[in-house]
Amino acid sequence: MPTLRTPDDAARQPDGTPTALLTGHGTFMGLDLLVAPGVLVPRAETELLGRTAVAALDALADAAAAAAGSGEAGPPRVVDVCCGAGNLACAIATQVPGARVWAADVTASCVDTARRNVERLGLDGRVSVHRGDLLGALDGLGLEGGVDMVVANPPYISTARLTGGDRRHLLAHEPIEAFDGGPYGLTIHQRLTREAPAFLRTGGLLLFEFGLGQQRQVELLFRRARTFADVRFVSDGAGEPRVAVARLAAAAGSGPAAT
């Protein structure tokens, strides 16, 4: 059976320092990315989210092209929040030609590093990075109701486990904002199910990573949101659900509960 990856599964030195922070480079979906202090080191397990996002965008493009007949569908519009080093935004833009990506993070160090990666990879014409609190970072850009996908790798460890529990060691080298998911580890996920519908077009997708054992709580978040349908979960190599995918079926505050 494949080894289960955990939220702190990054190559480390004997003193616990992530190797990527010493070299200044990390790898994600075949991309060589810059990393820096104050930024989450890209994790291999998050490649599951990246691959799922790329496959879903390809499927959306095929469906749009079929609906348009001989006409060509427009380029997909993607929002990546909690972007960190910009690994998801850059990977999606690299593997989905023509995709336009807006990335956002709340910390200056992440925004700066993500912008450097975008420029270094020659993606600055299609990927822009903004600073702010989740989707609020994109207010005023005219994206509301027109985004094909919102993707996120939000923090999903509970505050108690970080400040006094078995994940406390993570904070020695990487920022708390990258790990602290609130009292139950799902505060940001809850906000995403409430706030993403304002940006997604009908039929658009919300995708995010979550922690081991959190599937039932995530299912409940989607049921409470009452705006999503076709909720499904993607498992890692060990059979553990780690990525949620949901389709926007109705405007916020209306429509049946997700099934």
Residues paired with 137 in a beta bridge:
none
Q: Which pLDDT band, with edges at 50, 70 and 90, does 255 fall under? A: very low
Contacts for 108-112: CB closer than 8 Å, 24+ residues apart: 109/36, 109/37, 109/38, 109/39, 109/175, 110/38, 110/39, 110/40, 110/83, 110/84, 110/85, 112/36
Q: What is the chain's length? A: 259
Residue 71: pLDDT above 70? no
The whole-number pLDDT of residue 194 equals 97
- 7 found inside a domain: no
Rounded to the nearest 10°, the torsion over CA 174, 81, 159, 212 is -90
| Alpha carbons 109 and 175: distance in angstroms, whole number | 10
- Residues 140-156 have pLDDT tens digits of 999 999 999 999 999 99
- 34 found inside a domain: no
The whole-number pLDDT of residue 15 equals 53
Tokens of 105: 């993070």
- 37 found inside a domain: no
- 61 found inside a domain: yes
Closest CA to 27 of 128, 126, 101, 117: 117
Range 187-203 burial, b when 16+ CB lie within 10 A, else e: bbbbbbbbbbbbbbeee
What does each C-alpha distance from 215 to 104, 120, 220 come to in angstroms?
Answer: 25, 36, 9
Residue 1: pLDDT above 50? no
DSSP H/E element including 191: helix 187-195
Mean pLDDT score across all residues of the chain: 88
Q: What secondary structure letter does DSSP report for 141?
A: S
- 53 found inside a domain: yes
Q: Look up the domain containing 124 and give its range.
A: 47-153+186-248
Q: What is the CATH number of the domain that holds 97?
A: 3.40.50.150
Q: Which pLDDT band, with edges at 50, 70 and 90, does 9 fall under? A: low
Most confident of 12-21, 89-98, 246-255: 89-98
- Predicted TM-score (pTM) of the model is 0.89
- 137 found inside a domain: yes
- 24 found inside a domain: no
- Residues 160-213 have pLDDT tens digits of 998 887 788 888 778 888 888 999 999 999 999 999 999 999 999 999 999 999
The whole-number pLDDT of residue 168 equals 80
User: Which residues, including other chains, have CB under 8 Å from residue 131's CB and lie 6 or more apart?
Assistant: 104, 105, 106, 107, 108, 111, 137
Q: Which pLDDT band, with edges at 50, 70 and 90, does 17 fall under? A: low
- 66 found inside a domain: yes
Number of domains into which the chain is organized:
1
